[in-house]
Structure 1
Amino acid sequence: MKKADRRLNATERRRCFRERLAEPNTIVAPGAYDALSARLVESEGFQAVYLGSYATSAARFGAPDVGLVTLEEMASHASTIVRAVDLPVICDAETGWFNAANIWKTVEAFETSGVCAIHIEDHEFGKHAQVAPRMTTTSEAAARIRAAVEARSDPNFLIIARTDALWISGSLDEVVDRLKAYSDAGADLVMPTRVSPEQVVRIREHISTPIVITDKPGVALAAEQAAGAKVVLYYGLALYAAFLGVREVLRDFARLESADAIPGVRDVVPEFEATLDYAMFAERARRYGLT
């Protein structure tokens, strides 16, 4: 628990997140892979945290992001992150796991988890792998979006429609056509992947729905902001940092055979434990006469 007695509940977070989206600034949401990394995102002052299937597959299962994570596993992992922070959590809902008639189950699971928004994509098969990709048809993907919007019980639980059309076909015209269809289906935000700032500007000439993007190598945040992106997801930032950091420390330890010889490892303990709020436990223990 935080020092202010309780965390914001899901209704409060969603309302606050919608209000933030109405402001002119771009929201930057670094990706977390677990509760601790989400806590670090919050402690560094970011306005939202993102949880993707890419990070979940890697961190929870040591597996590639190739459709292995189930709805129950993703929603459960999201719930753990929600409980660790007060930030709005944006979560990956893959293709929705179900057809339009049954996608209510996905919406229900993520609403229950406490996240503020989910994105539902049209990339049916083949992400991140050297295999032939498959796209959901525009009409089927739009039906899923419409069904998801109609299934939510909280109007501030946001549905983001993601298209990977540029990734697969390279056609910006197809991206625009799909995003128009998804916007017409009721999406609160749209998410074209792998787009440049210039392409974001061109998309905004055709649709007024706010745009979510992922960070793009070689592109500065300032350019993404100037292009008019409403939300930028840095989905792999913390995950890659953890991979690099842990590997480097373990290599140093194997070489030096002493944890004390590795700069910072011993020194970080007080800050680490402060992030986990051991002091709040001690305060509660004193308050209730346990010490």
Structure 2
Amino acid sequence: MTSSLGARLRERVTAPGRQPLLLAGAPNALTARVVEEAGFEAVYLSGAGITNTYLGAPDVGLLSLPELAGHVEATRDAVGLPLVVDADTGFGNALGVQRTVRTLERAGANAIQLEDQVSPKRCGHFAGKDVIEADEMIGKIHAAVDARASDDLLIVARTDARAVHGLSAACDRAAAYLEAGADIIFVEAPGSPEELAEITRRVPGPHVANMVEGGLTPILPLERLRELGFAIALYANTAMRGAVAGMRIALRHLKDHGDTTEIGDAIISWADRQNLVRKPLFDALDEKYAGRTTE
């Protein structure tokens, strides 16, 4: 299934003339279930989102490969959508990248994103970033391509050079990363619609537009991103941020009233919760495998 999902994802992001893939992020398997329920075509496992929710920490390179792989495996079991996995800098040098790609592919990733920041990385919209030499990142991309078991696993190469060396250098890197074998390119944190247009004009190929609410890049409508030539519109942490807002509303009610008798639709119903986590399916499986006989 994983290979066929990767082929489906590749076809979706490379087909000419289509609307960009609207890619919603999830920090865990439950959120990925909600993403699938909402009708999205793929799920993005956000390194920032996992770090925020799992560690209660900022996106400053604290997540480990085993922790990330566990989230990928759990999410792969929970949803039938293609998984795009944020692997930060790849957890080491080129040899570390090879291990990362093999580990995450086995866990169920259909696309793996690698970035050219110096480790430990920082969120792409934080100040104080630095990038490795382009040649080192090219070596990492070669290693990633060689490590994948299936050609259907997509390699997404992200450059953070815009903030360090300027847009022209970032575009030069993007072109080099595509030449090295990356399937999709991701120039992080352009600062204007004009810069977004410049990226796709200078570097032909499938591109990610990272739409971060409150970040450095302006939020543009999907149709405008299509006109600019982007293949993916990424909203990596919208669901998580919405969930936090919802938790605050529900907990404020509980704190103010001392109970939830009048909480209304601030929380989902008991039945909705059980359906979301597929309890009827698990009940049916339990019945099937329990060895019970009916008289």
What is the TM-score normalised by the length of structure 2? 0.89
Query: Map of 1:188-207 to 2, 5 A cutoff?
Result: 188-195=183-190, 196-207=192-203
Look up the SS of the partner of 1:38 in the other structure.
Answer: helix
- Give a deviation string over 1:167-220, Cα, whole Å, max 9, x none: 334x21011111011111111010011234432322222222210121144433
Contact 1:10 1:114 (8 Å CA) reproduced: yes
Q: Cα RMSD between the aligned structures?
A: 2.0
Q: Which residue of 2 aligns with 1:19?
A: 11
Percent identity of equivalent pairs: 32
Q: Which residue of 1 aligns with 2:216?
A: none
Distance, in Å, in 2 between the alignment partners of 1:130 and 1:208 is 27
What is the TM-score normalised by the length of structure 1? 0.90
Distance 1:203 1:279, change over 3 A: same
Q: CA deviation at 1:285?
A: 4.5
Counterpart pick for 1:82 among 73, 76, 79: 76
Q: CA deviation at 1:65?
A: 1.1
Distance 1:275 1:209, change over 3 A: same
Look up the SS of the partner of 1:134 in the other structure.
Answer: coil
Distance, in Å, in 2 between the alignment partners of 1:205 and 1:267 is 45
Tell whether 2:255 aligns with 1:254. Answer: yes
Tell whether 2:159 aligns with 1:163. Answer: yes
Counterpart pick for 1:210 among 188, 206, 209: 206
Q: CA deviation at 1:96?
A: 1.0
Q: Which residue of 2 aligns with 1:123?
A: 117
Tell whether 2:166 aligns with 1:174. Answer: no
Q: CA deviation at 1:143?
A: 1.2
Contact 2:69 2:104 (8 Å CA) reproduced: yes
Contact 2:129 2:163 (8 Å CA) reproduced: no
Distance, in Å, in 1 between the alignment partners of 2:155 and 2:256 is 49
Q: CA deviation at 1:107?
A: 0.9
Counterpart pick for 1:73 among 67, 73, 79: 67
Look up the SS of the partner of 1:55 in the other structure.
Answer: helix
Contact 1:197 1:223 (8 Å CA) reproduced: no
- The farther-off stretch of 80-89 and 198-207 is 198-207
Q: CA deviation at 1:40?
A: 0.7
Query: Map of 1:29-40 to 2, 5 A cutoff?
Result: 29-40=23-34
Tell whether 2:150 aligns with 1:151. Answer: no
Look up the SS of the partner of 2:112 in the other structure.
Answer: strand
Distance, in Å, in 2 between the alignment partners of 1:52 and 1:272 is 23
- Give a deviation string over 1:195-253, Cα, whole Å, max 9, x none: 34432322222222210121144433332232221012101101101111111211111
- Give a deviation string over 1:90-140, Cα, whole Å, max 9, x none: 011111112124421011111111110011101214524976322111111
Distance 1:37 1:211, change over 3 A: same
Q: Which amino acid aligns with 1:20?
A: R
Distance, in Å, in 2 between the alignment partners of 1:73 and 1:22 is 31
Q: Which amino acid aligns with 2:246?
A: G
Q: Which amino acid aligns with 1:280?
A: L
Q: Which residue of 2 aligns with 1:276?
A: 277
Structure 2 residue runs of 5 or longer lacking an equivalent are 214-218
Contact 2:19 2:223 (8 Å CA) reproduced: no
Structure 1 residue runs of 5 or longer lacking an equivalent are 1-8
- The farther-off stretch of 86-95 and 263-272 is 263-272
Q: Which residue of 1 aligns with 2:107?
A: 113
Contact 1:259 1:265 (8 Å CA) reproduced: no
Q: Which residue of 1 aligns with 2:232?
A: 231
